[in-house]
Amino acid sequence: MKKRLLMVSNRLPVKIAADGTATRTAGGLASALEGAELENEQIWVGWPGGAEEEFDDPEAICKQLNEQNTWPVFLSQAELDGFYEGYANSTLWPILHYMVERAKFSQEWWDSYKAVNQKFADVILSIAQDGDMIWIHDYHLFLLPELLRGTNMNLRVGFFLHTPFCSSEVFRVLPHRAELLRGVLGADIIGFHTSSYLRHFRSTLLRVLGKESEMDSIWYGGREVRLLAAPIGHNHLGFQKCMEREDFGEIVAEHREELNGKRLVLSVERLDYTKGVPQKLTAIHRFLKDNPEWCDEVIFVLISVPSRQGVEEYDQLTEEVQRAVGAINGEFGSVGHSPVQFLHRGFPPADLAALYALSELCLVTPLRDGMNLVAKEFLDCQREEIAGRPGVLILSELAGAAEELSNAIQVNPHNTEEVADAIARALEMPDEERKFRIEAMQRRLRLRHSGPWAQSFVEDLEKVPAREQRVAVFEMVPLAKEIAERWRKGATVGLFLDYDGTLREFVDKPEDAIPDSELPPLLKSLGDTERLNVGIVSGRPPSFLEKHLGGLGLTLVGEHGYRWLNEGKGEWELFNPHVDTEWREQIREHLEQAALLTPGTHVEEKQSAVVWHYRKAEPEFGLWRARGLLDELTSMAANLPVTVHHGKKIVEVSSLQVSKGAAVDHLMKYWHTDVAFAAGDDQTDETMFSLVPDGADFYTVKVGAGTTRAKYRTDTSGVRVFLESLQHELSL
Ligand code: GDG
């Protein structure tokens, strides 16, 4: 059976009549799904509009909606003020659109945002069933994916952001940026309109959370989160239906008559400050001033759907636009003709289609826009037989749509002169060029309309492996049971555990990475078990290991397998007393030089290795320098008995005669091990994973992302789950 699909957006596609009757409407997302030809049962979850207090009988509305597979999340007036008007629209919206100076911050709004996200989670979890797919939409619900992860249910969670994702430099302005990122990383798939937004998101993860990612995925919390750039399409089928209506010809004729033979330049947008309407009017003013011969020929129609009326900032914007329109008409109008018509209301879809079809030019000039569907709708509705000639799109390069619609005339909406010139150029553009430009774009957007967009997102979500397969942590329990079973039957067991990034999460300062209070007793209890030997195999120096993990009955291996402390004997010994370290001086000097040139980096000297640390450097600069160093060191090391490796935020040059693998090989034999288990997170641990022990079974576990020779993969919490389960099993 097909999995159920729960669509979750702040606003439900419903209308509630004055008498409380609730009806489903085909909003943007709902119609996208209609075109997606999905067989999945669909359920909607979201806010039905209005404040909860306004409804006489919310329960009755809820019941009615439930019958239509719709689950309302009612919001009180206080929640609408704090969550919706406050945090979502006055903090996140301006930040995501790069309008930092408009953003307002309030702890109360943030608290309300958290509470409403939890409210959404509660409603979803009250109806969710094992195997459901949950598709969450937009910036109102950044925290929801993580909140859904708390359950044991096997849910597949997708998140799509409809706004831009701004640069990390802007996003980090948000006081709660880390919580927002962690929230959204609870999803299995995170989608953006463009590859630029995806790039910004990845660099924000790196700079705010210190998390590295691949172009299409990130390893987080023991799971792989897929990242994708999937530009939304417009509702092609909806517009096609309008244009096939019997009365469509009449609608077109009516509007044609209104135009009175003038050439139509159309704009359609919600009246929002991101849409750049005042800037557009300044450019129109400039165009009319520079090209007086056009004043009586063209008519600029601005359809501005009212948005967030009653909010001061938006009311001011409306007044500003009305004043500018009045000023232009006063200056350039004539008896019987006003060059700019400002229509501050919504139009039925068929009228919109007719106006798109009749336009010679569409002026889409937002200051920032996630995608902008108007640009695509205009191109799709264009018919030469209606307008008489192919139309031209002028498109802001700061709209997401610009990445796809490269045949539009692209402009910087802040550059008045450029926009004014583009209007003149478009009006004068020969038909042949117009045709070439529009046809190329039409082909693409009619194929990639909202239906296929939704369909492919849902297909991706369907492919997310079931939880038990994807959460490697869950594999750790059966593994512990298997090893315990062997132990019970008399096998001698050896555990080889790396420390940083394996037993302990990475932290900014290595000296802060001390064991949490639960780890030492857990290791001690394992170390005290007969026929079970525990080795901590780390790159750390003896002093650190002894200070934090000494006295627990463990075998400590320091400096990547150079020395070891057999607690029984009480003294650190060398695995190989004849290691050649004459090369150190030359390498150290080279690395010291790199440290001088790269702020936030330093050199650490060990007995058998020299290490350059760049954990505190600017992440991208540090990485770039590390790659350069690797090249240099590899050629320097060609004739030296060393190996160069790029680890987590380090470049390390170490003696060829020393490795974790060699140390583990030694200890396995020393302990007469029958069953061995090794876990580690970086390149040096791979020398353990590639061992093929003689006569012992070997379980190898890679912690985190990256290519590996290990058989299993998990994260630090998975390692802990393994150790706890093993301890539990052994004590039975
Ligand atoms: C957000 C992102 C992203 C407008 N006037 C009328 C009317 N509309 C319809 C248009 C279009 C829609 O409204 C506006 O969509 P946009 O994409 O332009 O912008 P936002 O509302 O800001 O949407 C945006 C979008 O989400 C999708 O991901 O593209 O970047 O900000 O469909 O046709 N429809 C009717 N009458 C009108 O007068 N019927």
Distance 62 CA to ligand 1 centre (A): 28
Tell me what the mean pLDDT of segment 77-104 comes to.
97
Is the predicted pLDDT of residue 137 greater than 90, yes or no?
Answer: yes
Residue whose CA lies nearest to ligand 1 atom number 20: 372
Distances, alpha carbon 109 to alpha carbons 40, 50, 140, 161, 700, in Å? 36, 18, 12, 21, 47
- Ligand 1 neighbourhood includes 161 CB (under 6 angstroms): no
pLDDT value, residue 358: 97
Tell me what the mean pLDDT of segment 9-36 comes to.
81
User: Lowest-pLDDT range, 138-147, 339-348, 646-655?
Assistant: 646-655
Is the predicted pLDDT of residue 476 greater than 90, yes or no?
Answer: no
Pair 567, 553: CB distance under 8 Å: yes
> pLDDT digits over 657-687, tens only?
899 999 999 999 999 999 999 999 988 899 9
Residue 264 binned pLDDT confidence (cut-offs 50, 70, 90): very high
Rama region for 131: left / alpha / beta (φ>0; ψ in -120 to 50; rest) = left
The residues with which 394 forms a beta bridge, in sequence order, are 363, 409
pLDDT value, residue 569: 74
Active site residue 498: yes
Mutation test of ligand 1: which of 9, 11, 268 has the most ligand atoms closer than 8 Å to its C-beta? 268
User: Lowest-pLDDT range, 124-138, 232-246, 265-279, 700-714?
Assistant: 700-714
Residue whose CA lies nearest to ligand 1 atom number 39: 349
As given in the structure block, the two tokens for residue 3 are: 């999995």
Q: In the predicted model, what is the mean pLDDT of the chain?
A: 92
Tell me what the mean pLDDT of segment 267-296 comes to.
96
Is the predicted pLDDT of residue 471 greater than 50, yes or no?
Answer: no
pLDDT value, residue 639: 86
- Ligand 1 neighbourhood includes 352 CB (under 6 angstroms): yes
Distances, alpha carbon 435 to alpha carbons 263, 365, 431, in Å? 18, 22, 6
Which amino acid, residue 165? F
Name the more confident of 113 and 385: 113
Distance 233 CA to ligand 1 centre (A): 11
Tell me what the mean pLDDT of segment 424-448 comes to.
95
pLDDT value, residue 567: 67
Pair 401, 371: CB distance under 8 Å: yes
The residues with which 436 forms a beta bridge, in sequence order, are none
Q: Say how far apart CA 686 and CA 682 lie, in whole Å.
A: 7
Among 498, 682, 685, 715, the one annotated catalytic: 498
Is the predicted pLDDT of residue 472 greater than 90, yes or no?
Answer: no
Residue 508 binned pLDDT confidence (cut-offs 50, 70, 90): low
Is the predicted pLDDT of residue 389 greater than 50, yes or no?
Answer: yes
Residue 30 binned pLDDT confidence (cut-offs 50, 70, 90): confident
Three-state SS across 558-597? ECCCCEEEECCCCEEEECCCCCCCCCHHHHHHHHHHHHHH
User: Lowest-pLDDT range, 240-244, 405-409, 574-578?
Assistant: 574-578
Q: 3-state class of 549 per DSSP?
A: helix
Q: Say how far apart CA 261 and CA 296 lie, in whole Å.
A: 10
What is this structure's pTM?
0.82
Name the more confident of 689 and 706: 689
Is the predicted pLDDT of residue 563 greater than 70, yes or no?
Answer: yes
Tell me what the mean pLDDT of segment 44-55 comes to.
93
Query: Which among 343, 347, 350, 264 is positioned nearest to 299, based on CA atoms?
Result: 264
Is the predicted pLDDT of residue 370 greater than 70, yes or no?
Answer: yes
Residue 321 binned pLDDT confidence (cut-offs 50, 70, 90): very high
Residue 466 binned pLDDT confidence (cut-offs 50, 70, 90): low
pLDDT value, residue 223: 78
Tell me what the mean pLDDT of segment 324-330 comes to.
97
Pair 660, 684: CB distance under 8 Å: yes
Q: Say how far apart CA 171 and CA 99 lie, in whole Å.
A: 11
Q: What angle do CA 213, 219, 222 make, to 5 degrees?
A: 165
Percent share of the chain, pLDDT over 90: 77
pLDDT value, residue 468: 47
Q: Is residue 395 packed enough to be buried (19+ CB in 10 Å), middle (13-18) or exposed (0-12)?
A: buried
Residue whose CA lies nearest to ligand 1 atom number 36: 347
Q: 3-state class of 491 per DSSP?
A: coil
